Amino acid sequence: MSEIVEVPLPGREYQVRIGTGLLARAGAEIAPLLHRKRVAIVSDAHVAALHLATFRDALTAEGIESVALTLPAGESTKGWPQFTRTVEWLLEQKVERRDVVVALGGGVIGDLVGFAAAVLRRGVRFVQVPTSLLAQVDSSVGGKTGINAPQGKNLIGAFHQPALVLADVGVLGTLTERDFLAGYGEVVKYGLLGDAAFFDWLEENGRAAAGGDLAARTHAVTRSVQMKAEIVLRDETEQGDRALLNLGHTFCHALEAATGYSDRLLHGEGVAIGCALAFELSSRLGLCPQEDPSRVRAHLAAMGMKRDLKDIPGDLPAAEVLLDLMGQDKKVIDGKLRFILARGIGESFVTSDVPREAVLGLLQEQRAAC
Ligand code: GLY
């Protein structure tokens, strides 16, 4: 059983297929894209140990040959050294312009391999096979690819849309609860930014999804991907509406920088805290009903997720330092911070019109409670 979300970008249309058993029938899913029956797969050590054999067997069953490169697992892979290694390996494997490269893994692999595919021979097609919830609902769809620079995350990259995305929700069963819930931070984001009915559904069904209910997982991923696809179609290169996908991210990026991009705070955990703070700020500015921030926080609490600065282990810098770190965000334009705020649950908007004192006051209160 699988759901299909179409991403009909003119000339680069593709499908996101979401469901169970997709990995085991990957050969049949991918075969129609191939000019010759051979693909190059890039994965990481952690994912390869769990899923590479299943994936390759599925290719073999359709007579598709494969070669595979396994990179080290972890965010530090997403830089020039492993990127160079990947591009050179793809050239050594004689991957041609009409061939297909497969990214089998989470966001790090998807972003790095997508960027390698974007530049290899000036662009080859690639298939995303996301294995984390975060990658299934966000990074594998929409064509943002890239690597980190010493100056910051995701600062080097290209827009390069995949030719197909296979999101097998069955593989989410191998995630730790913490990793699942971190990805769920991005799922909640979709409800909060543009679909109040989906947020209602998450309040009802989020626990079932976290507990392993495959129908609930399929729906959560499908609705998230539909929303992402709609936004990417309106604004592929983030000139406007695509920034809505960054709800919670301005706070999140500051908190990730303050915690050294470490295990103290996973990206999706920072997004969840950032969403709670964005609603709190919206309420204080009189933009959304006062009860909305409590409702957001209540759902995160019911899911057992972090929602305040005090939930982050270890010391955090002063509020002024956090505010300064927010100023390093990629979304700063002409020195002005762009925030995604909300008029209510499911009604977010982009603004640069946020008084510094309001943000500082909120961060000071949150810091004082730590
Ligand atoms: N992850 C945000 C975006 O794809 O625009």
For a mutational test of ligand 1's pocket, the pick from 137, 144, 230, 234, i.e. the residue with the most ligand atoms closer than 8 A to its C-beta, is 144
- Mean pLDDT over residues 166-194, rounded? 97
DSSP code at position 41: E
In the block, tokens 């943000």 appear at 359
DSSP H helical segments within 120-176, as ranges? 133-134
Q: Ligand 1, atom 2: nearest CA belongs to which residue?
A: 245
| Domains of the chain in sequence order | 3-174 (3.40.50.1970), 177-368 (1.20.1090.10)
143 in contact with ligand 1, CB cutoff 6 A: no
pLDDT at residue number 296: 98
Q: Is 29 a catalytic residue?
A: no
pLDDT at residue number 173: 97
185 in contact with ligand 1, CB cutoff 6 A: no
Closest CA relative to residue 128, chosen from 68, 41, 52: 41
pLDDT at residue number 332: 59
- Mean pLDDT over residues 122-126, rounded? 97
pLDDT at residue number 3: 97
Distance of CA 287 from the midpoint of ligand 1 (Å): 24
- Mean pLDDT over residues 204-221, rounded? 98
pLDDT in tens, 33-85: 999 999 999 999 999 999 999 999 999 999 999 999 999 999 999 999 999 99
Q: Is 97 a catalytic residue?
A: no
* Contacts (Cβ under 8 Å, ≥6 apart) of 278: 247, 248, 250, 251, 339, 340, 341, 342, 348
Q: How does residue 331 score in pLDDT terms, banded at 50, 70 and 90? A: low
Q: Is 242 a catalytic residue?
A: yes
Closest CA relative to residue 139, chosen from 103, 174, 169: 103
- Mean pLDDT over residues 336-340, rounded? 82
The encoded tokens of residue 128 equal 């995303």
Among the residue ranges 5-19, 23-37, 288-302, 313-327, the one predicted with the least confidence is: 313-327
Closest CA relative to residue 182, chosen from 134, 223, 136: 134
CB–CB of 109/44 below 8 Å?
yes
Residue 327 has pLDDT above 80, yes or no: no
3-state class of 208 per DSSP? helix
* Contacts (Cβ under 8 Å, ≥6 apart) of 102: 30, 39, 40, 41, 42, 55, 66, 113, 126, 127, 129
Distance of CA 61 from the midpoint of ligand 1 (Å): 35
Q: Is 122 a catalytic residue?
A: yes
Percentage of the chain lying above the pLDDT 90 cut: 92
Measured between alpha carbons, how far is 295 from 275 in angstroms, rounded to an integer? Answer: 12
Residue 333 has pLDDT above 70, yes or no: no
Q: What is the pTM of this model?
A: 0.96
Give the chain's mean pLDDT.
Answer: 95
